[in-house]
Amino acid sequence: MPGAGDRGKALARWLGAGLLGLLIPMSLSLEVSVGKAAVIYAVNGTEVLLPCTFSSCIGFEDLRFWWTYNNSDSPIIEGTVKNEKSDPRVTLKDNDRITLEGTTKEKKNNISILLRDLQFSDGGKYTCHVKNPKENNLEHNATIFLQVVDELEEVDNTVTLIILAVVGGVIGLLILILLLKKLIAFILKKTREKKKECLVSSSGNDNTENGLPGSKAEEKPPTKV
């Protein structure tokens, strides 16, 4: 019968294999992105691009992608990408106002869609889904929100400009103070050095007048006996 040590080694190997099986797909998995903006605003009657890109460090083959609207499982557009050298191909579309604007050229892996003739009812949640057979058909997705408005509001940057001006003024004042401080320190240093030189010169003159050793005293005529 196997001992406790053998059972422990077998359990450790089993756990190690399980963890490795979990970590490898996580490290090699697809990444799907819809950009940095969580919400996109667009004017009623115009068009808007909903971005979506994907990336994979292990490559892809016969990749499947689709977009869904709000909580519906039915895709509004669906397609496939054969490989890195092939452009995305649409296989299903339920609205003529939706077109695929993506490309895989130059490794952009872009599967964005364009919505034309926007209506207020188009506002909502749009989710980009991707499946890669090389990853056992694991699904990856990213969501973006669209808000359709009458007109885009102009952003008032007055407060921002005021804040920037104040911050810039404070920084400029601090720099000026530091420069003035250094200039004053330099002037004081030079003044002290000059004062020191004057003191040394004055001391030398005093020694000469008093006829101290090492000085040139004024010669006096000899005293007559």
Question: DSSP labels for 124-152?
Answer: EEEEEEEEEGGGTTEEEEEEEEEEEESSP
3-state secondary structure of 206: helix
Q: What is the mean pLDDT of residues 161-189?
A: 89
- Contact present, 40 and 115 (Cβ < 8 Å): no
Average pLDDT, the chain: 81
Q: The dihedral of CA 122, 75, 65, 19: what is its sign?
A: positive
3-state secondary structure of 180: helix
- Contact present, 115 and 98 (Cβ < 8 Å): yes
pLDDT bin (cut points 50, 70, 90) of residue 225 is low
Of the candidates 160, 176, 39, 51, which has an alpha carbon nearest to the alpha carbon of residue 101?
51
Instruction: Give pTM, 2 decimals.
Output: 0.58
Ordered by start, the domain boundaries in the chain are 30-149
pLDDT bin (cut points 50, 70, 90) of residue 96 is very high
Domain boundaries 30-149, corresponding CATH code: 2.60.40.10
pLDDT bin (cut points 50, 70, 90) of residue 81 is very high
- Contact present, 100 and 90 (Cβ < 8 Å): yes
Q: Which residues of 98-128 are buried (b: 16+ CB within 10 A; e: fewer)?
A: bbbebebeeeebbbbbebeebeeebbeebbb
Q: What is the mean pLDDT of residues 203-222?
A: 52
Amino acid at 34: V
3-state secondary structure of 154: coil
pLDDT bin (cut points 50, 70, 90) of residue 223 is low
Three-class secondary structure assignment of 62-122: CEEEEEEECCCCCEEEEEEECCCCCCCEEEEECCCCEEECCECHHHCCECCEEECCCCHHH
Quick one: tokens of 57? 């460090």
Q: What share of the chain is helix, strand, coil (3-state, %, to 5)?
A: 40, 30, 35
pLDDT at 51: 96
pLDDT at 120 over 50: yes
| Percent of the chain predicted with pLDDT > 90 | 44
pLDDT bin (cut points 50, 70, 90) of residue 21 is very low
pLDDT at 43: 96
Q: What is the mean pLDDT of residues 203-220?
A: 52
